[in-house]
Amino acid sequence: MTSTQDSEIAISKQWWILFAVSLVTFVFSLDVHIVNLALPTLVEDLHSDFATVEWVPLSYSLVLAILVLCVARLGDMWSKKSLYLIGLTAFTTSSLVCGIATTIYLLIAARIFQGLGAVLIAVLAPAIVTEVFPDAKRGLALGIITSTGWAGVSLGPTVGGVLLEHLGWRSVFLVNVPICLISIVLVILTLPRGSNSTDQKYFDFGGALLLGITLTCFLLGITRIQEENLGGNLTLLLLAIAMMACVSFLFSQKQSTQPLLNLSLFRSLELSFSLMLSSIGYILNSCVIFLLPFFLELVKHYSEQQVGLLIAVLPILGICVGPVAGSLADRFGERSISTIGLVLLFISCLTISTFSEELTVKGYLLRIIPFGIGIGLFQPPNQSVIMGSVPPQYLSVASGLWFFSRALGQVMGITLIGILFSRLSASQLPVDTPFSVTTAPVEALVFGEQVSFRIVSAILVIAVVISGFLWQRQNQRLRINGT
């Protein structure tokens, strides 16, 4: 679709398209946080264990990480309307299956397909709006999509808590269905098909397959550590396959004329380290979002609605602080503000490691508020550095890399905190006693939470050092440019 064609789309249709895409973006963002609240309930209702329930959010995030680079490429080759409808249909159907699932394994399988739909929705939404709206309205339209996404993130814990307490865990998934059905009808009726790209039709299926094998085997391998030692045969086999697939993927990308991942971009230390810091930030965020519901429900015995309200503090703070962080970054430099954010995250992580059975709501807020502020100060300036570290022709690639670092960080965070929490909590049980998160003594759960976050704090020390190094480089460049 050309710019001329875009401008000829009726104004009413433009806003109906934006309404449909915004609805889906809201549901997708809502779903990211709403499901985590249901995890403690799923352990009991579906007669599962902590390690298996981990895969409810993990399988979803894994699909996002594997496919984000592929979808970005396919969106330039095929009709965005067709791909978006495929994603929307997959997300809607799988949400229904999740809501009626009778076993944990059916739920995980449905979450895989839900992740497939989610990645198509998330990656293609900005591209669709960019095509449909003329230049004069494009910024407003993209801003509305971003705002609805943040609204979903902030309302997720609260809405999830209400649904869980009054309608049960199945409602967390079923709530997506009617909203998505409305959006499907609107997209079919209003969104033009558009035109396919006439050049660069090649898609690197081999690279996509190798990337999928790498991430899947790596994550399966490290999650197996919860059930067997690192030296277990299956664990070692999976990690070895992941390593070989990773080497093969990097080699294939270097040789390909149209790779999924342009490795030459990583010659920039700013880009490479900023992507690493982005992943670390989302690792930490996932650790907190994943584990807090278990602690607040099983140790503090709060209701689902209370847990939702307490967790909602984090995204709300992030939304409020984010714009301020952007303004401060413009004035004082991105790296200085993002480094301050990381320091706040480190301090908050240490205080979260002091959670105990005697924790009060006031004590919780005093420990968690610096975390929300830290995330808000760190992520927007760091993302700005990522986008500014590549030539203009690679902006879409940089956006895809940022989304990939986010998805990978979420996967790694869930996996890391799952291993630490289950292993450390189990270490407080009598020998040969199997660990069950719903029946373990409160003292064991508290010990697991405290030591887990002390270890995670050590990872943040590395992040602060890297960010400080980049801050120093930024200051040196400014001094050189100023002389």
The pLDDT tens digits for 197-216 are 545 566 778 888 898 898 88
Q: Which of residues 170, 192, 214 is at a domain's end?
A: 192
**Domain count of the fold of the chain:** 3
Across the range 55-71, mean pLDDT stands at 82
83-87, 268-272, 437-441 — which is least confidently predicted?
437-441
Highest mean pLDDT among 88-97, 168-177, 260-269, 419-428: 88-97
What is the per-residue pLDDT for 468? 86
Rounded to whole angstroms, the Cα distance separating 78 from 76 reads 6
Counted residue by residue, the chain has a size of 483
What is the per-residue pLDDT for 452? 92
Residue 2 maps to a domain: no
Q: Same structural domain for residues 404 and 285?
A: yes
Q: Same structural domain for residues 250 and 334?
A: no
* pLDDT grade for 83, boundaries at 50, 70 and 90: confident
Q: For residue 371, count other CB atoms closer than 10 A to its CB.
A: 23
Residue 483 maps to a domain: no
What is the per-residue pLDDT for 5? 45
Residue 265 pLDDT > 60, yes or no? yes
Residue 405 maps to a domain: yes
Rounded to whole angstroms, the Cα distance separating 408 from 401 reads 10
CA-closest candidate to residue 448, choices 427, 474, 471: 427
Residue 351 pLDDT > 90, yes or no? yes
Q: Same structural domain for residues 83 and 212?
A: no
Q: Which of residues 259, 287, 305 is at a domain's end?
A: 259
11-15, 138-142, 341-345 — which is least confidently predicted?
138-142
DSSP string, 149-165: HHHHHHHHHHHHHHHHH
Q: CA 249, 252, 253: angle at the middle one, nearest 5?
A: 85
Please tell me the pTM assigned to this model: 0.78
* pLDDT grade for 364, boundaries at 50, 70 and 90: very high
Q: Same structural domain for residues 242 and 230?
A: yes
Q: Which of residues 192, 226, 245 is at a domain's end?
A: 192
pLDDT in tens, 151-189: 777 777 778 888 888 888 898 889 889 988 988 888 888
Domain membership of residue 173 as a residue range: 10-192
Q: Same structural domain for residues 113 and 244?
A: no
Residue 197 maps to a domain: no
Q: Same structural domain for residues 255 and 266?
A: no
Q: Same structural domain for residues 387 and 253?
A: no
Share of the chain above pLDDT 70, in %: 87
Mean pLDDT of the chain: 81
Instruction: With H, G, I as helix, E, B as strand and everything else as coil, classify residue 111.
Output: helix
Residue 200 maps to a domain: no
Q: Same structural domain for residues 248 and 340?
A: no
